[in-house]
């Protein structure tokens, strides 16, 4: 079976009231339609992708996101051009997002170009652009052991 991408990602944030404005603006910038907009849930769909953000169950409200804990490390959107990455970076600066690194080239694929940022709970989000076949090019030999925890 060959997959047709990821249908949706569901994120549980610690403080929905604090994170909701960030995600509302990000989903709008990414031209995603809000298909569900509730008291503690936002669900945007667009570009064959869905992002659902919701608040935690009561018993987990005092926990915080830890990138190295079991579970989500980060997720990454795939952009259509380097200019898209640069435009996203400009948008992130406008909304005062926490930017881990501005647009830069990376070692993860030939001509890899990305921006890395965090939501208000510290959940890391990346957007990248990789032209052509990227790591599926038969000539690519990616040294993953040398990458470590650089993202």
| Ranges 65-69, 84-88, 146-150: which has the least confidence | 146-150
Strand duo 112-118 + 124-129: pairing: antiparallel
What percent of the chain has pLDDT above 90? Answer: 70
Compute the chain's Rg from CA coordinates: 16
Domains of the chain (ranges, CATH numbers): 1-57 (3.10.180.10), 73-133 (3.10.180.10)
Average pLDDT on 11-20 reads 95
Average pLDDT on 37-45 reads 95
Give the Cα separation of 136 and 142 in Å (integer).
10
In three-state secondary structure terms, 138 is coil
Q: How many residues does the chain have?
A: 151
pLDDT-based confidence at residue 127 (cuts at 50, 70, 90): very high
Q: Each residue of 89-112: pLDDT tens digit? A: 999 999 999 999 999 999 888 889
pLDDT, position 105: 95
pLDDT, position 45: 96
8 A C-beta contact, residue 51 and residue 28: no
């Amino acid at each position: 079976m060959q997959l047709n991408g990821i249908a949706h990602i569901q994120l549980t944030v610690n403080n929905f009231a604090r994170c909701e404005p960030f995600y509302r603006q990000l989903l709008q910038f990414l031209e995603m339609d809000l298909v569900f907009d509730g008291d503690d849930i936002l669900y945007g769909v667009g570009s064959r992708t869905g992002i659902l953000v919701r608040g935690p169950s009561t018993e987990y409200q005092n926990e915080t996101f830890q990138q190295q804990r079991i579970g989500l490390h980060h997720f990454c959107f795939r952009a259509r051009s380097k200019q898209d990455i640069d435009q996203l970076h400009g948008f992130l600066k406008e909304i005062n997002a926490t930017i881990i690194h501005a647009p830069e080239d990376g070692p993860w694929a030939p001509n890899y170009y990305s921006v890395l940022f965090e939501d208000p709970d510290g959940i890391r989000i990346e957007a990248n652009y990789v032209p052509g076949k990227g790591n599926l090019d038969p000539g690519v030999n990616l040294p993953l052991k040398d990458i470590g925890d650089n993202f």
